[in-house]
Structure 1
Amino acid sequence: MPRPLSVQLYTVRDQLAEDWPGTVRRLAGLGYGAVEPYDVLSDPRGHRLILDDLGLTVSGAHAGQLLAPDPGPALDAVATLGTDLAIVPAGLPPDDFTTREGLAKAADRLNSLVEPARRHGVRVGYHNHWWEIEPRFGDGDDAPLRHAVEVLAELLDPAVFLEVDTYWAAVGGAEVPRLLHGLGDRVAALHLKDGPGTKEDPNVAVGGGTMPVPEILAAAPGARRVIEFDACAGGTDDLFDALAASLTYVNSLEAA
């Protein structure tokens, strides 16, 4: 049975700040079956109780605190929320993705989290933006250039997964279905978002922009699907309308 479609809670960060239970209740009412928290240290036990009561699972959790000197509290929180995917959403210097030495350093940092994560019963992964995509590396005169994240993947412990933000990958210059095919089983989750393909403009409902969503889904059939908006034009009602339209569109593709 396929996993329920998830929504990254950063999408509704302003609404959560005003009414956390009411906001996730509204997401459940739209038909979402899972969420991906981003503020894991903020009452993970209380949030887990609310999510359980609504029948919402946790597809994964973003935890920048994993890069703290002691990742234990973040890993405790992720485990308490009830997910097996602990995701580093940022925090590695963008300059690390511009040289092979920097990529080796980034890989070492992520690999150092494998054993602490395993002790907590979770896996650790990394979520990209555009700066892990834009730099390209060649391996010889006839070899095709590869995106930095592709080189990084080869340096990672097999236990480290990737959550590919498909929109930022496209903004960074990737042909996203090809990228996903190349990364293969390393991709455990996808962020699905849509828009005009620029860094500055707000997102639109998935299916309403430039992203080749059917091809993306086909390229990573086993990955968990997470809807996200970094920004959405309009107010709260416009945002929830876009979330509802995204859910309907992605579900229609999954059912086809």
Structure 2
Amino acid sequence: MPAPLRVSLSTSSVYPGSTSSGFETAARLGFDGVEVMVGIDDVSADITAVKALSGFHEIPIVSVHAPCLLVTQRVWGSDPWGKLHRSAEMALEVGASVVVVHPPFRWQRDYARTFVDGIAELETRHGITFAVENMYPWRTGKREFQAYAPGWDPIEQDYAHVTLDLSHSSTAGGDPVEMAADLGPRLAHIHMTDGSGSAKDEHLIPGRGTQPCKEFLAAVAASDFAGEIVVEVNTRKAKDQAERESELLEALAFTRLHASV
């Protein structure tokens, strides 16, 4: 039988807790690894610091999420390509196999114009997987705004590797089971979460929304997928650390149960 798929934790899942608390929580709760969300927490952008956290807690870093959010526009400078090179350097230094990256915002015109070819060049140069994440249209009421270029749907682009996020597929009104089938071997990385179809990117605990999470995990487990499954959820409304950890344990148990063959 194939080895069971690993289930890791994004450090963003403990926000507003720190990157350090993300490592400690992941190790103590029994996750298989950590995805470092490079963000405004200084530790998250310090290669030496995150490598030390990995060693201290004896938990591997499986992936690095490049600083692509609006709130991280100045992390590692303002050059988007420079950010991706630094993300690759971190991944290689800490032993991670994947860099997760969002498509450019439409107003990043020069970056967007060469993004597809540039991602392929980065993979060749650094010898590491750059998995472009599915996003979604921005909606306000009945209005819809295309915020990403060359587009929010990576299926339509010539990326060798893709990250599939189930909260994003929910916001976009998509079916992650169909998306995974369409991607085939290009599906390299998973952000396990959920959504209710809201215009807001919710990142619910898997099983609490309307995405077909059980069916998705079963399909992934029955396929040739050999990438990482990373729990990336929003626990900001937890009233205390005990409730946050209970939610993370629920997400871990759900994912392991339904990703088993």
Q: Do Structure 1 and Structure 2 share a fold, with TM-score over 0.5? A: yes
- C-alpha displacement at 1:175, in angstroms? 1.8
Q: What does 1:1-256 correspond to in 2, within 5 Å?
A: 1-16=3-18, 20-39=19-38, 42-63=45-66, 64=68, 68-70=80-82, 71-93=84-106, 106=112, 108-131=114-137, 148-152=153-157, 155-156=158-159, 160-200=160-200, 202-221=202-221, 222=225, 223-230=227-234, 232-237=236-241, 238-255=243-260
Q: Distance in 2 between matches of 1:226 and 1:94?
A: 29
SS of residue in 1 equivalent to 2:191: strand
- C-alpha displacement at 1:162, in angstroms? 0.4
- Greater RCO, CA 8 A, separation 6+: 2
SS of residue in 1 equivalent to 2:233: coil
Q: Distance in 1 between matches of 2:94 and 2:253?
A: 26
Partner of 1:144 in structure 2?
Answer: none
- C-alpha displacement at 1:67, in angstroms? 6.2
- C-alpha displacement at 1:69, in angstroms? 4.2
Residues 212-238 of structure 1: per-residue CA shift (max 9 Å, x gap): 112111333314211111454333433
Q: Distance in 1 between matches of 2:112 and 2:25?
A: 38
Partner of 1:139 in structure 2?
Answer: none
- C-alpha displacement at 1:255, in angstroms? 3.4
Q: Distance in 2 between matches of 1:79 and 1:44?
A: 10
Gaps spanning 5+ residues in structure 1: where? 97-101, 137-146
The structure 1 segments of at least 4 consecutive aligned residues displaced by more than 6 Å after TM superposition are none
The one-letter code sitting in structure 2 at the alignment partner of 1:85 is V
Residues 89-114 of structure 1: per-residue CA shift (max 9 Å, x gap): 35332899xxxxx9xx8584132133
The one-letter code sitting in structure 1 at the alignment partner of 2:6 is P
Moved more, 161-170 or 34-43: 34-43
Alignment RMSD, CA only?
3.1
Q: Distance in 2 between matches of 1:3 and 1:11?
A: 20
- C-alpha displacement at 1:210, in angstroms? 1.6
The one-letter code sitting in structure 2 at the alignment partner of 1:225 is I
- TM-score after normalising by structure 1: 0.76
Inter-CA distance 205–73: structure 2 relative to 1 (3 Å threshold):
closer
Q: Distance in 1 between matches of 2:95 and 2:81?
A: 23
Residues 183-240 of structure 1: per-residue CA shift (max 9 Å, x gap): 1111101111124231337544212222211211133331421111145433343322
SS of residue in 1 equivalent to 2:16: helix
Q: Distance in 2 between matches of 1:106 and 1:183?
A: 22
Q: Distance in 2 between matches of 1:162 and 1:67?
A: 22
